Structure formats: C-alpha cells, structure tokens
Amino acid sequence: MKPLVFNATPLIYLTKIGLSKIFEQLKNERLTSPRVKKEVVDEGVITKEKAKQAADEMVFAGWRCSIETYAKIMEAIEKLGKSRQ
C-alpha cells in the first residue's frame, strides 16, 4: 500500500469537527512534514476561509462525501469561526 501524506488544514479541521477517529482506521502508513506538525500540533489555528478551501480541495481531489456530510462540515466550520469572534 502507498503511504498517505497529510497537509495541515485537513488534519486541523477534521479533528476540530470531531472526525479525527478516521485517522485511526487508516491502514496505510501516514506521513507528514515537520512544518505540518508545527502548524497542527504546536499552533493548530487556521482561518475559516482556509478550512472551507481545504474541504473543497479534498472533494475536488476525489475524497468522497455525501451532500449532507459536506453541509455538516461547512456548518461546523462556520460555528468554529463564530466561536473565535
């Protein structure tokens, strides 16, 4: 199996909306860079706009999700943005 390479934005927001358990279910080797580790673990903050862009990029890259799930993800991102204001 090919290793999975993760970028910071999806890691941060999938975790913040409660979907981090999906990473435990992945059988492939998981890779990331020291910069991603810093952004995710040490800083852990990105803008609402970057989170929406990341979700869109994941769908365009072939990640599968229903319309309902996509709407829930966008709703959760909106709520996160409001809680920081």
From CA 19, how far away is CA 11, in angstroms rounded? 9
pLDDT in tens, the chain (85 residues): 788 888 888 887 787 777 877 777 878 787 878 888 777 777 766 677 877 888 888 888 888 888 888 888 888 888 765 544 4
Q: Which pTM value belongs to this model?
A: 0.46
Residue 30: strand, helix, or coil: strand
> What would the two tokens of residue 3 be?
């290793």
The reported pLDDT for the residue numbered 45 is 66
> What would the two tokens of residue 28 be?
């492939």
> What would the two tokens of residue 56 be?
């869109």
- Tokens 């709407």 belong to 71
